[in-house]
Amino acid sequence: MSTTPPPPRSAPPSGVHPGTEDAADDGALGWLRALGPGGRRAFTGAFGGYALDSYDYFTLPLSMVALSAYFGLSSGQTGLFTTVTLVVSAVGGAAAGVIADRMGRVRALMITVLTYAVFTVACGFAPTYETLLVFRALQGLGFGGEWAVGAILVAEYASARHRGRTLGAVQSAWAVGWALAAVVYTLVFSFAGDDLAWRIMFWTGALPALFVVWLRRRVHDAPTATAAREQDPGRGSFAAIFRPGRDGAPGLLRTTVFASLLSTGVQGGYYTLATWVPTYLKSERGLSVVGTGGYLAFLISGAFLGYLTGGHLTDRLGRRTNIWLFALLSALCILVYANIPQGAGTLLLVLGFPLGFCMSAIFSGFGSYLSELYPTAVRGTGQGFTYNTGRAVGAVFPTLVGFLADSWGVGGALVFGAIGYGLAALALLGLPETRGKELA
């Protein structure tokens, strides 16, 4: 099965990427026109894959209360679901990055989508807590690789001028999948008993498998980047991303260490909120299923606009400045949100919007930034490893919240998310600015 398209009729000039002919167009959709036909299909594939990845991920947090009751779980045990998923995703993400460098971006994307679809459905059939934990861990193999592979696929089509907003738009797919999961959750839990509803949520995770058929027929790797990658015998090398500089030649070890710390901080903060806010709203604020869905609507709409806004700002302000800005704002939002007094339901509702906005805008620059930090031959390996190492280590944060929730309350324990954003800000001190960098 080939994922590389036939050679173009005329090769683009040196240094020019597919679709950059319209790069000067700064209209609202100039970034989309600049991708060209092949790039737009790649964008659709990456957007759809990431939205479905998000949908499958959120089937668990939204079903957490029902699962806890069904299996008689403690807060620590429920937090372990997220930790296991994210830890195993580091393995899946690193493996997907190597596959993307050695076999191609689209092939790796199809493998990751099929993996998380199959094991999400399997979770719905789990007879015991231990079985569900294993299936959720295996789902993490596909979950870990999808974003990194899809982001690289689109980044290699995008022009340097528009790359931030293009990858920010891909990132916004996470909010779309989250919203879809929230809608399905509201419907399923309104019409089915909790003991069956959580299983139905997982079974709907079969939808992404159908998406692979479209990917196989319509999406191809960027020709220029593919040629550069295939000519390098060191493609997909783990050793390369850990090689220190020597004899005046720069290495990638420093980049890999600090990019992993950056990813750890941002994702530690994010997954703390994504995992525990639904439980916080139901257990400590006493909201119904429909009420929780209403609050999540504000959070998710803020997230969607945050992804798009952050994408534009990362092109205008630079990658580092955008991340610094929203790390600070996200930490402040967590502290305020977790300390809203009881009875202030309207304030809780309104502040959900800036919380979702800030914690998502910080992600918008990740796709472009990590892609620009690594050369073409190890771009998948480097991005897959650093992003998913951050997921794995950042997974400690939701677990800490789970174990501390019994004594501190979920709201009080959420402050650990703010610590993650502080770590992200410090990690940027070891990384360069890459705005305007062309990708081969």
Section 241-256 average pLDDT: 81
Residue 291 has pLDDT above 50, yes or no: yes
pLDDT confidence of 6, banded at 50, 70, 90?
very low
Residue 194 has pLDDT above 60, yes or no: yes
Rounded distance, CA 143 to CA 56, Å?
A: 9
Cβ contacts of residue 31 below 8 Å, gap of 6+?
A: 158, 162, 165, 166, 169
Burial class for 327, CB neighbours closer than 10 Å (0-12, 13-18, 19+): buried
As given in the structure block, the two tokens for residue 183 are: 């809608």
Burial class for 422, CB neighbours closer than 10 Å (0-12, 13-18, 19+): middle
As given in the structure block, the two tokens for residue 381 are: 């390996």
pLDDT value, residue 302: 87
Please identify which residue in the block is written with the tokens 């403690």: 74
45, 107 contact by CB (below 8 A): no
Rounded distance, CA 290 to CA 303, Å?
A: 20
Percent of the chain residues past pLDDT 90, beyond the cut = 19
Please give the residue that has the higher pLDDT: either 193 or 18.
193
Please give the residue that has the higher pLDDT: either 60 or 13.
60
Percent of the chain residues past pLDDT 70, beyond the cut = 82
User: Can you spell out the DSSP letters for 125-159?
Assistant: T--SHHHHHHHHHHHHHHHHHHHHHHHHHHHTTS-
For 124-177, the pLDDT digits (tens) are 999 999 999 999 999 888 887 888 888 889 988 988 888 888 998 888 888 889
Section 253-265 average pLDDT: 93
Question: Computed over its alpha carbons, how large is the radius of gyration of the chain?
Answer: 21
Range name among 101-110, 138-147, 320-329, 332-341 with the lowest pLDDT average: 332-341
Residue 320 has pLDDT above 70, yes or no: yes
Residue 8 has pLDDT above 80, yes or no: no
As given in the structure block, the two tokens for residue 73 are: 């779980």
Q: Which residue type does 241 have?
A: I
Instruction: Please list, residue by residue across 375-400, b when 16 or more beta carbons sit within 10 angstroms of its beta carbon and e when fewer do.
Output: bbbbbbbbbbbbbbbbbbbbbbbbbb
List residues bridging with 246 in a β-sheet: 249
As given in the structure block, the two tokens for residue 184 are: 């399905």
Please identify which residue in the block is written with the tokens 């990384």: 431
As given in the structure block, the two tokens for residue 58 are: 């959120």
pLDDT value, residue 261: 94
As given in the structure block, the two tokens for residue 372 are: 């620009």
Minimal CA–CA distance to 150: which of 52, 230, 43, 56? 43
Rounded distance, CA 328 to CA 229, Å?
A: 37
Mean of all residue pLDDT scores within the chain: 81
Minimal CA–CA distance to 154: which of 370, 385, 378, 322? 370
Coil, helix or strand for 233?
Answer: coil
For 31-42, the pLDDT digits (tens) are 888 888 888 999
Rounded distance, CA 177 to CA 51, Å?
A: 4
pLDDT confidence of 122, banded at 50, 70, 90?
very high
Task: Please tell me whether the overall predicted TM-score, pTM, comes out greater than 0.95 for this model.
Answer: no
pLDDT value, residue 274: 67
371, 259 contact by CB (below 8 A): no
What is the torsion angle, in degrees rounded to the nearest 10, for the CA atoms of residue 159, residue 165, residue 166 and residue 172? 170
As given in the structure block, the two tokens for residue 39 are: 């790039």
